[in-house]
Structure 1
Amino acid sequence: MNYDESLRFMRALGKFGVNLGLARIERLLEMLGNPHQGLRAIHIAGTNGKGSTAAIIDSILRASGYRVGLYTSPHLVSYTERIRVDGEAIPEIDVARIITRMMPMLEHIAGDRELGHPTEFEVSTALALAFFNERKVDMAVIEVGMGGRFDATNVITPAVSVITHIDYDHTDRLGTTIRDIASEKAGIIKEGRPVVVAPQHPEAWEVIEACCREKGSAVKLVGRDVTFCTGGFHATPLSPLDGQYCSIKGEKYTLGDLFLPLLGRHQVVNCATALGAVEVLADRGIATSEEAIRQGIEATRWPGRMEVVQRDPVVILDGAHNLDGIARLVEGLHEFRAKGLVPGRIKVVIGVSRDKPVVEMVRELASAADEFVATRARSSRLGGAEPEAIAQAARLLGKPVEIEMDSIEAVRRALTGAGPGDFIVICGSLYLVGDVRPLWFDNVSL
């Protein structure tokens, strides 16, 4: 089986949907020789900020001289982006080789009626863990796919668990209250293993704190044990579109006048959360230094998250795909206006998955946006919401809106109509961002 055949096989597994549970992945890993056992890992759950926090931790550990595996999802352009070692995507030949090796194992598991066929995410997770084992990584940074308790990644016993901000998403599977969702996310907490927690809604924190007490897990809370503030007294001139300066004070390290090349105040919170995790690792023998931490943070790259890909007019790609993520994006846009960076109009190109709260997301965006172009991603795990539904939500708020079914043409239309000082923001779905990002990067895989 070659790489293209492997991808077709993986996409075909999408028909099995999301089927939370650990029995299938545990059986598959057992047949692979349990590559996850003995793996030193950081496990990251949360509603938003998981990927950014993972990317920052990965960059810090690599700057500290460690060989690091990074597993995140979904990808933007190439499937290989999901699995990285030392910043390099898994080679296509290794994807094909490991998937081919797994084929008879998958058929065997599928023959068990009680288990059923492994899902796409379960196979992807097994692929990542097998590859990290082969490459003998010093540390693996593992992002949860959905929830935590029954997510396929929850087979690992991490050196530290991290829980980023929790809010409403996937309520059909994780529960309809913050407490329900927090309970699922807290399922990654293991007996006696330390936990780093980002600032939370009070009810989410109550659930997490109780779980930590039950498990005997020490907890480091961002905002209490790791503090942060934006701004600094830097000497180097900087456009606010290049990144931001901040200060973070942990229990071991104090980083003042720190450059973070990610936009939005929420990224400062993610950075503080990453520092908390690195401090816990230091207590467990994963040594680093203030210089390496600073270098790693300054070298962090996480495409598609308030990413500025063009300056005239300004074009921002943001994969915000739920109401909380959209609120963080809008907060950033208001900040840009307050700093005088948006003398013109803000035009939003938006495509949303059909399981998301379209009306509420458009309403949130409308507080910053002047006009909309409604579209849909060319591919999406669950399919896209109808652009007409997005457009109707915008019209009800009195916002001008155009409909363009093709995502690439939607961006081109927005660019054609842009004037001096305008901002074009492309958001609503990581799948949409993945569709259009190659327009600026010549189809080069990230």
Structure 2
Amino acid sequence: MQFTNIDNFINWVQVQKRFSKKVSLDKMKYYCQLFDNPQDQFKSIHVTGTNGKGSTVAMLKHILMKKGLKIATFTSPYVTCFNERICYNNTYISDEDVLTYANLFLSKYDIIEQSGYELPTFFEFITVLAFLYFASLEDLDFAIIEVGMGGRLDATNVITPILSIITNVAFDHMQVLGNTLEEILTEKLGIVKKGVPIVCGIRDNSLQLICQKWAKLNDTIAIFPQYEKLAIEKSDIDSSIFSYREWNQITLSLIGYHQIDNALVVMEAFDVLQKFFEKIDYKVKLTKMDLVKGLSDVTWIGRMEKISDHPLILIDGGHNIDGIRSICEFVKSLPYRSKRAVVAISHDKELKDMIAFIDETFTEIIFTQYTYARSAKAIDLYQISQSSHKKYNENLEEVIDEVYHSQADITIFLGSLYLVGEVRNLIGNKSYKK
């Protein structure tokens, strides 16, 4: 079999199994060996965490690119198109390159089947595809690799990075990662490598001790933001201004208190990279001003992203309890009287707890659904809600029309990146006045 067009490939890869019968990194190591270990042919930074992975990747990428470095990223899930997952210098991988490396991997399937190993899962396939593409980029400086889920057994965990990052730890994917924060953190700490420093965006003292223990076992250090040295001066729908350590009045273009937390992780990671560049006498030297400039105008689609000023509409892909809590805490601080939420959530999430935060935050709630099979039914979300100002409409396009043609001081679409992706695509196909 050969893929001849991108739709042909996407239709095939989307129906590949999501989990292996036997969860192990041995398979991924074997797949990579078939191609002379492409993951070892470029420098990498490894990022895991319950929330904030994508935003952290976006900030790091932007800071380094503004310095003139060539940066690749591997992120998931996508918001607008499959190619978004694999990016080089802000350009998505081309359809042609997707097909080239997909067909190259597919050409090894007979060998894999004869070896006794299972064929790749969906995520294993696209991870190998990304590694092959990154290894082909002759002028690549760094690839920032985002974990798919967890860390210890994630398909990306065959790289040996120069830096590892855990953005934070909260409850999500408990059926796979464990039912306590300690268990979830332990899975994420599985990305720690010998001698590779790790930055951990974790406040809890007991969880910090676990990080320090893992670091010691791996002859490295765990670095935490100094939260007591943070002073937030402003945070609204345009930007945040904060001071941290020796930095005064840093402007962050990403919206929300949670993005300030992510920025602190990035600032600590920046320190590590600065020292690494000096140690190996890299072709550029990082300065504090590089960080300041990068944070001031970074963008990241689908994360408290403003898509319209009149009416004021934001979209956010927060899709678990901690993500929804962060959004709601920020929305409560905004000086608007009427605050409307448009909500769609995957059915396998903690629906009651997530909706409880939404109920107490917004003056109006519209429950809807997206086309992806995991979406909870709009009426089911409506029935869980205790709000007295709620309604539901299964037709997302009709909901968008209503939002654009009815009054609310602010509207936020939230609950899922799948929702965010569909909203962006539907709005892009219409001539709404932004």
The match for 2:416 among 419, 429, 441 is 429
Q: What residue number does 1:315 align with?
A: 313
Q: Which amino acid aligns with 2:67?
A: S
Q: How does 1:48-127 map to 2 (within 5 A)?
A: 48-110=51-113, 112-113=115-116, 115-127=117-129
Deviations 1:15-34 (A, max 9, x none): 65797431222121111221
Structure 1 stretches of at least 4 aligned residues deviating more than 4 Å after TM superposition: 14-20, 110-113
Amino acid at match of 1:268: I
Matched-pair contact (CA < 8 Å) for 1:20–1:152? no
Confirm or deny: 8 A CA contact 1:373 1:414 kept in the other structure.
Answer: no
CA positional deviation for 1:378: 1.3
Report what 2:351 is aligned to.
Answer: 358
* Structure 2 CA distance for partners of 1:94 and 1:223, relative to 1, 3 Å: same
> Within the alignment, does 1:247 sit opposite 2:243 as a pair?
yes
Amino acid at match of 2:381: I
Alignment RMSD: 2.1
- Identity value in percent: 29
Provide Cα deviations, 1:247-291, integer angstroms capped at 9, x if missing partner. Answer: 233xxxx43222211111111111111111121112112531222
**TM value normalised by structure 2:** 0.92
Q: Aligned with 2:106: secondary structure?
A: helix
- Give deviations 1:80-128, integer Å, cap 9, x for gaps: 1111111111111101111011112234324555x32211111111111
Given that residues 166 and 200 in structure 1 are in contact (C-alpha distance below 8 angstroms), is that contact kept between their aligned partners in structure 2? Answer: no
For 1:105-184, list aligned pairs within 5 A: 105-110=108-113, 112-113=115-116, 115-136=117-138, 137-184=140-187
Are the aligned partners of 1:106 and 1:118 in contact in 2 as well (CA < 8 Å)? no
Q: Which residue of 2 aligns with 1:280?
A: 272
Question: Residue 317 of structure 1 aligns to a residue in which SS?
Answer: strand
Q: For residues 138-186 of structure 1, what are the alpha-carbon distances to aligned partners after superposition, in whole Å with 9 as ceiling and x for unaligned?
A: 1111111100000011101110111111010000000000110010011
Please say if residues 212 and 221 of structure 2, whose CA atoms lie closer than 8 Å, have aligned partners that are also in contact: no
The answer to whether the 8 A contact 1:228-1:268 is kept is no
Is the CA contact (8 Å cut-off) linking 1:244 and 1:259 kept in structure 2? yes
Partner amino acid for 1:62?
M
Are 1:291 and 2:280 matched, yes or no? no
Structure 1 stretch 130-139 or stretch 283-292: which is displaced more?
283-292
* Structure 1: gaps (5+ residues): 233-238
Q: Does 1:374 align with 2:367?
A: yes
Q: Which residue of 2 aligns with 1:235?
A: none
Residue equivalent to 2:395 = 406
Relative to 1, partners in 2 of residues 1:355 and 1:439: Cα closer, same or farther, differing over 3 Å? same
Alpha-carbon distance in 2 for matches of 1:385, 1:392: 12
Q: 1:305 to 1:217 in 2, by over 3 A?
A: same
1:267–1:244 CA distance, 2 compared to 1 (3 A): same
Question: Which residue in the other structure is 1:349 paired with?
Answer: 342
Distance 1:332 1:299, change over 3 A: same
- Structure 1: how far apart are the matches of 2:36 and 2:126? 16
What residue number does 1:190 align with?
193
Q: Does structure 2 retain, via aligned residues, the 8 Å contact 1:166–1:201?
A: no
Aligned length: 421
SS of residue in 2 equivalent to 1:36: helix
Q: Is the 8 A contact 1:372 1:399 kept in 2?
A: no
Higher mean C-alpha displacement, 284-293 vs 14-23: 14-23
